[in-house]
Amino acid sequence: MTRDPRYDILFEPVKIGPVTARNRFYQVPHCNGMGRTFPSSMAEMRRVKAEGGWAVICTEEVEIHHTSDHSPWAGGRLWDERDMPVLAKMCDGIHEFGSLAGAELNYAGLMAANRYTREVPMAPSHIPVASHDPLQARAMDKEDIRNLRRWHRQAALRAKSVGFDIVYVYAGHQLSTISHFLSPYRNRRSDEYGGSLENRARLLREVLADTKDAVGDTCGVAIRLAVDELMGPEGMTSDGEGRDLIEMLAEEPDLWDVNISSWENDSATSRFKASGFQEDYIGFVKSVTSKPVVGVGRYTSPDAMVSLIRNGVLDFIGAARPSIADPFLPRKIEEGRIEDIRECIGCNICVSGDNMFVPMRCTQNPTMGEEWRRGWHPERIAPKTADETVLIVGAGPAGLECARALGQRGYEVTLADKGDEAGGRLVGERRLPGLAEWGRVVDYRTWQISQMPNVNLYLESPMSVQTVQEFGADHVVLAAGARWSADGIGRQNPRGVPIGDGATILTPEDVMAGTRPDGPVVVFDDDHFYMGGLMAEALRKDGCEVVFVTPSPEVSSWTHNTLEQHIVQARLIEMGVEIAVAHNLTALRAGQAELACIYTDRTRVVDCAAAVMVTMRAPVDDLWDGLHAASLPSLRRIGDALGPGTIAAAVHSGHRCARELGEDIDDTVPFRRELPALADGFGT
């Protein structure tokens, strides 16, 4: 297939100072949970994106000095020459495909508690560090500022030696000391580095000049700037000082990478923000500078990308999450394979990996983070090892991905599901408030399967032990999923919740099916991810009085990892949901629910026509029990049927099953590891 000429503009080269990007696809800096901790995984992940057609591929934040240590976050590090080989490996992989490598150098200041180095953090003014560590950052004096400039220049020179083509001056997301100097909210200085915007921008201007002087002969020098802090008059705004600053420095950098603060706003989930919402803030930038501009917006549609370029909004289509969901997105557009794009669903499971200090994962792309570790390529897979047939029972996320990948390998696959719609748990979840884009998990896979003559999907086809045996497949894979429990068993109540006669119990499946009680509802959330909050939201939208109860000290606490918790709780408050945090559900009776404080055991009773249990999901294992007893020669469970978890975990499980079928897998440690090496002597 050939590229649609409508998209030719996306493949034009663009100059960034002394270097030239081969097209307009730009992977902006993003964290990944690998960095210096899993450097081979990080380097191979970036190399694969270059192979996939991204013209510019950047690091995550790279520490420039030991007095600003991000530990335990696994970012980049460039303190001295000993850190250079890791980043050189990344650059070599990116250059292998003719792409440019960018380094986002950063001094985080009050954002880094220096838990590893134990140095005292520094900031524009005396202030506690941003984390909850019992520690304060000290105000920088003039010598500190001179040192910071020197450290940044030295790091830029190391980046140039490593092989980077673009070097960043980072002033975005309120994650850098430079951004703290810029912000009237953070900067309380009264000297020439505080007060007016011109003074607060002095450090940015100086570091930019230092960087251009050091590496600008061969490297493009970029500014990454949050043009709006979303704090109103207390911070910079895109129609105030954010615009003024860009006008002030318009022609000084080689590229503007523009966004909004903070990270949870810039990388908002699809549940709360539509694709491209940042345009309202960054749309003016091209009108005040002749330098190329890159911005993000979770863009996956090539038509939207072309519109952004033609309308003078952006020069580069920036991406973090879409490049994770599909590292080959540019190549697919270039090759005329638009329908094969694996579109980001905006769930931020990728962010959760970084927040938990492990290699990131992706709901749509099960190979993310596994490129080096398991040798999984996002587009290539080993052919089948034998002319064999596979029966998969269950067309949820795990079953769909398993069928798709096995079909790609060349196996004859039959996928059977008892429902009248493919998707499993996503049949209902994609219809919950804000989760429409999550349906892309199903839509991508059903489309791919529909194009494979060796894969057949049969709906309304319940399977029993007898019908599975009669089918006679060489391999049987059970992906029957899981269902929410109604007994309250969970983390807080491992033996369940006492339920009296006459009490009405609902599960999320009941609510998704349309059941609405006549009276007040208690939503008991012992799951702590998105489902409890969505149950409360859906019921409240339909007019129910809702009491949200959770043993956690806050609503949907795990969604901190996906950058949503503050929005989830605010939305329930604004909707009038009564919230009882740090409370357990200890008993249910007809018309009443008994709650107990998890700290004091004090109880109180609330009216309750029904309770929605969001505590745990139990695997659907009746078919497994029967077939396991029948001793089929090749029988496996995958996804929620094996162990209920996230949708990303289910997709990964299905993909892993497909990769491993017929292969000789090491059952000791089935993936490569990077092990620490002992240093010789002090200071080496």
Distance CA 589, CA 512 (A): 24
- Contact, 61 vs 29, CB < 8 A? yes
Question: Which residue from 640, 659, 660, 658 is spatially nearest to 650, judged by alpha carbons?
Answer: 640
Distance CA 29, CA 60 (A): 5
Sign of CA dihedral 480, 486, 492, 498: negative
Catalytic residue check, 266: yes
Residue 514 corresponds to which amino acid?
Answer: G
Place of tokens 């587009």: 379
Among the listed residues 26, 107, 170, 411, the single catalytic one is 170
Which strands form 122-123's sheet, in the order they lie side by side? 122-123, 136-139, 127-128
**DSSP summary character for residue 383:** P
Q: Inter-axis angle of helices 397-409 and 647-660, to 10 degrees?
A: 30
Distance CA 22, CA 379 (A): 22
Place of tokens 């002033």: 171
Distance CA 419, CA 421 (A): 5
Catalytic residue check, 652: no
Per-residue CA distances from 608 to 2, 537, 539, 548, 593 (Å) = 61, 17, 14, 11, 6
Please count the CA atoms within 13 angstroms of the CA of 284 that sit on its side-chain side. 17
Question: Which residue from 482, 450, 513 is spatially nearest to 649, judged by alpha carbons?
Answer: 482
- Contact, 494 vs 645, CB < 8 A? no
Distance CA 288, CA 275 (A): 24
- Contact, 80 vs 124, CB < 8 A? no
**DSSP summary character for residue 426:** H
The two tokens of residue 446 are: 């059903």
β-partners of residue 168 are: 104, 222
Per-residue CA distances from 274 to 94, 236, 298, 432, 436 (Å) = 31, 23, 9, 15, 11
Cβ contacts of 116-123, under 8 Å, gap ≥ 24: 116/69, 116/71, 116/72, 117/66, 117/67, 117/69, 117/71, 119/66, 119/67, 119/69, 120/67, 121/67, 121/68, 122/67, 122/68, 122/148, 122/177, 123/177, 123/180, 123/186
Catalytic residue check, 475: no
Dump strand ranges (E) for 65-133: 76-77, 100-106, 122-123, 127-128
Catalytic residue check, 377: no
- Residue 135 phi, psi (nearest 5): -150, 145
Distance CA 363, CA 108 (A): 30
Distance CA 254, CA 18 (A): 9
Distance CA 378, CA 325 (A): 9
Among the listed residues 228, 254, 266, 315, the single catalytic one is 266
Among the listed residues 31, 219, 362, 544, the single catalytic one is 31
Among the listed residues 70, 152, 173, 652, the single catalytic one is 173
Q: Which residues carry out catalysis?
A: 31, 170, 173, 266
